[in-house]
Amino acid sequence: MMRLPAAGLLALALLSAPPLLPGAAKAQPQPAAPPPPLAAVPPALRGPWFAGGCASPTAMLHVTARAVARLPADGPARLIRFAESRAQAGWTVGTGRGAEAPRILLRGDATALQTAEPDAKLRDDRLPGDTPLAAWSRCAAPPPALAALHGEGLAMLGTLEVLEAACGGPGAGSAGCLAALVAEGDVSGDGLLSVAEIARLVRGMTWVMAAAEDASPEGVLAAGGGGLLAGVAIGRFAMESLDYDGDGRLSAAELGQDRTALTRSLGAEGGRPLRLEGVQEGIGLLRGLLDGVTAP
| Mean pLDDT over each residue of the chain, to the nearest integer | 79
Distance separating alpha carbons of residues 60 and 73, to the nearest angstrom: 8
pLDDT at 97 over 50: yes
Lowest mean pLDDT among 125-129, 206-210, 261-265: 261-265
Is the pTM for the entire model greater than 0.85? no
- pLDDT tens figures, 269-287: 665 665 666 666 766 776 7
Distance between CA atoms of residues 254 and 178, nearest Å: 10
* CA 41 remoteness from chain centre: 18
User: Residue 116 pLDDT > 80, yes or no?
Assistant: yes
Cβ distance 289 to 278 under 8 Å?
A: no
Q: Where are the domains of the chain?
A: 4-15+144-255, 43-137
Axis-axis angle for helices 217-242, 195-212 (nearest 10): 140
The CA distance from 245 to 152, in Å, is: 29
Q: Could you tell me the pLDDT band of residue 58, with boundaries at 50, 70 and 90?
A: very high
CB atoms within 10 A of CB 199: 23
- Terminal-residue alpha carbon distance, the chain: 33
Q: What's the sign of the alpha-carbon dihedral 142, 63, 123, 130?
A: positive
Radius of gyration in angstroms for the set of CA atoms belonging to the chain, rounded to a whole number: 23
200-236 pLDDT per residue, tens: 888 888 888 888 888 777 777 666 555 556 666 777 8
Q: Cα–Cα distances in Å, from 91 out to 44, 128, 137?
A: 13, 9, 17
Topology adopted by domain 4-15+144-255: Recoverin; domain 1 (1.10.238)
